[in-house]
Chains A and B, each alone.
Chain A
Amino acid sequence: MSAPTLELEIADITESAPEVSTLTLKHPEGRVLPSFTPGSHLVLECSGKANAYSLISDPVMPTSYQISVLRIHEGSGGSRWLHERQPGERLTARPPRSAFAPQLKARKQLLIAGGIGVTPIFSHLRAAAAWGIPVEVLYAHRPGHGAHCDELKTLAPGRVRCLDSRAEFAAAFAEAVIRQPIGTHLYCCGPEPFMDIVVGTARGAGWPPGRIHTERFGIDALDPGDPFEVVLTESNQKFTVPSGISLLEALEKKGFDIPNLCRQGVCGECVLPVRTGAVLHRDHFLTEEEKESDEQMMCCVSRAREEELEIAL
């Protein structure tokens, strides 16, 4: 299933906000790059790790890709590594993947961004502007840390509000959520607690789940989780996965070579067959029915709901 990789050359690096670098990537021979769906991400190999970044540039037969990378100090190091790159250097990427696509039937788009979650929202806004779809943007960010505000406002004059206080954002969203014409779809990307508030508020205002779309991805780490026991039925092993260590990491330490790509529960590569035990599914790959059946799990993010899991490995 794995698609071939793309070699990309860094054509330009600019600072879009403090700690946010925008990288322009091109094919080394200037060839046209694959088109992508607004809201897609590019998985980049960052010094041995794979990190996903939302594409913010023009999606149709583009000659360059742009991503904006927030430097995360406590992260796994991928964003720090990217911040140290220089123009002319090359990166390896997987072709764009879409998991946060615009709804073609939307009559209007209400786009809600928190912090660096502005990147897929930027992409959605670009598409809405290109196809003439009415749009309204609320972007919450820390004072002085709003990335791409000017570009957003140029794409949709008078339809973008960049808000740098929580109270201001909460008031603006509470007002906006109750007056959207039917046919509007809401898209939200930001830190998990931010999105929980947005989704909760919209649901409280009678929004059906089908009109609410979130990108829970790559913003901040999942909570470390409780330790649990793992029994490997094929190789006859038993060990504990401590809090803060993923099952994938634990298996790698034991010498297992598990296929994996995003390590964030999105790509589906690291699926493992579960024999017994209740899984705390934290991925965005398996369907709800698959999660309920507890027959498989994404070992990069998911853990045991109770003390023990039996894996057919």
Chain B
Amino acid sequence: MTTTAPPLERDLVETFPFPFPQDTYRYSTNVEPAGKLVPTPAGQWGASMLHVDSEYHHELDERAAILQRDPSRQQVLPHMRPAAWDAMLTLMQELGTAYPREFTLTRDDDGTFTWINRKQGIEQRFTYADETTLPEPETGPLGFIGSQVQEDIALLDQREGQLFVDAGIITFAADWSFGFDVGMSFLEIHGPVPRVHDMGVIARAQTFLMRLQPSTPYRRTNWTLTIGRRLDVSTEVYHEWGPDRGWIQTTDDQTFGASVHLRVEVQHLVRLPDSGAVMFLIRTYMLPLEQLARIEPWRARTHAVLQELPEDMADYKGFISYRDRAVAWLESQAPSS
């Protein structure tokens, strides 16, 4: 059977954060200041920390459905309550600044806040640090804001000379389990990633994060390949999406190009000003190879990166079994000279 991808909204191509600055890829502490606009052959991305696009309602519906099935994707360890409030207020301010027509946060004279989200028809008056002033007190400020931004959110506590992932709402994890990892240190969570330890990448990243100041957020990108437009490729449901990695090798070329997606995470690293916690925002973008190949510089660059990528990295990223096929497919799409 041949699968064709449904047509993508144009903005998903135009704002796709193509992650490869060169023809080879290795792990590095690839951080840069947030908010810098990056032009691409298809458009541009990166103007703001939070990005609202044409998938807004679809992705938030999907997040709600995932949380309904598996509440462990959202957790706030008790000591992270101030960080959750801090995150909510920071994200609301950020949305209001980036999209003032859709989102507004105002502080009223009595110290309460009014939050308006016109995309979802929300108008909520709340008091900072008072859960009972939110629509669903039990899911708290993180649950409230998590249902209004497309980004996954992790909150890190800085203590004992380290960072600990002690809260978050992570529904679109790429091959890890937030429910299992919550409470781990930054170094522990990255334990399974090959190469990075010997290179000191994770330790350096942690030192960097521990020195972040609220006034200067940073960002980085990460990437992998995903089969289908599946946002939730968490370890919890590995048995559901794992077989796709076998299936994809049996498909015809057209189905392959429509199904395999370059999956890019834009991660923002933010020191929350009030609690002092570090906020990781993880936004996932997916572009089918079929679409990507229509932008020749992207096709050529992706081909070069995938072809050169060392085995252990392709293995960890989960596409070792169809990497050669992806390389061949991208090669076959080269413009005929």
Contact = CB atoms under 8 A, between A and B. Distances in A.
Task: Check A-B contact in the complex, CB < 8 A.
Answer: yes
B275 A105 contact: no
B152 interface: no
Given A37-B273, A37-B275, A287 B207 contact: yes
B274 A34 contact: no
Interface stretch (B76-84, B191-199, B306-314): B76-84
B107 A35 contact: no
A98 interface: yes
A290 to B, nearest CB: 9
B273 A35 contact: yes
B89 A60 contact: yes
Contacts of B207: 287
A210 B158 CA distance: 12
A4 B215 CA distance: 8
A179 B222 CA distance: 48
A100 B77 CA distance: 22
A167 interface: no
A171 interface: no
Contacts of A38: 276
B51 to A, nearest CB: 23
Interface in B53-99: 79-83, 86, 89
A183 to B, nearest CB: 10
Given A95-B213, A130-B129, A210-B159, A104 B79 contact: yes
Contacts of A98: 213-214, 271, 276
B89 A61 contact: yes
Nearest to B78: A105
A104 B207 CA distance: 19
Contacts of B265: none
B240 interface: no
B169 interface: no
A59 interface: yes
Contacts of A34: 214-215, 273
B132 interface: no
A102 interface: yes
A131 B129 CA distance: 8
A1 B216 contact: yes
A3 B215 contact: yes
Nearest to B82: A131
A231 to B, nearest CB: 29
B160 interface: yes
Given A105-B79, A131-B129, A210 B215 contact: no
Contacts of A287: 207
A34 B273 CA distance: 8
Contacts of A60: 89, 128, 274
A95 B214 contact: yes
Interface in A31-71: 32, 34-38, 59-61
Interface string B128-157: 110000000000000000000000000001
Contacts of B129: 130-131
A11 interface: no
Contacts of A114: none
A92 interface: no
A165 interface: no
Given A3-B213, A95-B214, A210-B159, A104 B107 contact: no
A312 interface: no
B125 to A, nearest CB: 15
B273 A59 contact: yes
Point out which of A1, A61, A104 has the most chain B C-beta atoms below 10 A from its C-beta: A104
Interface in B205-259: 207, 211, 213-216
A32 B107 contact: yes
B212 to A, nearest CB: 10
B270 interface: no
Contacts of B275: 37, 104
A104 B157 contact: yes
B148 to A, nearest CB: 19
Nearest to B275: A104
B10 to A, nearest CB: 35
Interface string B175-208: 0000000000000000000000000000000010
A32 B79 CA distance: 27
A103 interface: yes
Interface string A18-42: 0000000000000010111110000
B244 to A, nearest CB: 40
A156 interface: no
A130 B273 CA distance: 16
A105 B159 contact: yes
Nearest to A130: B129
A59 B160 CA distance: 24
B160 A210 contact: yes
B13 interface: no
B286 interface: no
Nearest to A6: B215
Contacts of B269: none
A210 B211 CA distance: 18
Nearest to A211: B160
Contact of A101 (B81, B160, B276): B276
A60 B207 CA distance: 26
B274 A104 contact: no
17 contacts: A1-B216, A3-B216, A4-B215, A32-B107, A35-B274, A36-B273, A59-B274, A95-B213, A96-B214, A96-B215, A97-B213, A101-B158, A101-B276, A104-B166, A130-B129, A210-B161, A287-B207
Given A35-B273, A101-B276, A103-B159, 8 more contacts: A1-B216, A35-B89, A37-B273, A59-B274, A95-B215, A96-B215, A105-B79, A268-B211
Interface of A: 1, 3-4, 32, 34-38, 59-61, 95-98, 101-105, 130-131, 210, 268, 287
Q: A-B pairs with the 6 shortest C-beta distances? A: A35-B273, A101-B276, A37-B276, A95-B215, A3-B215, A105-B79
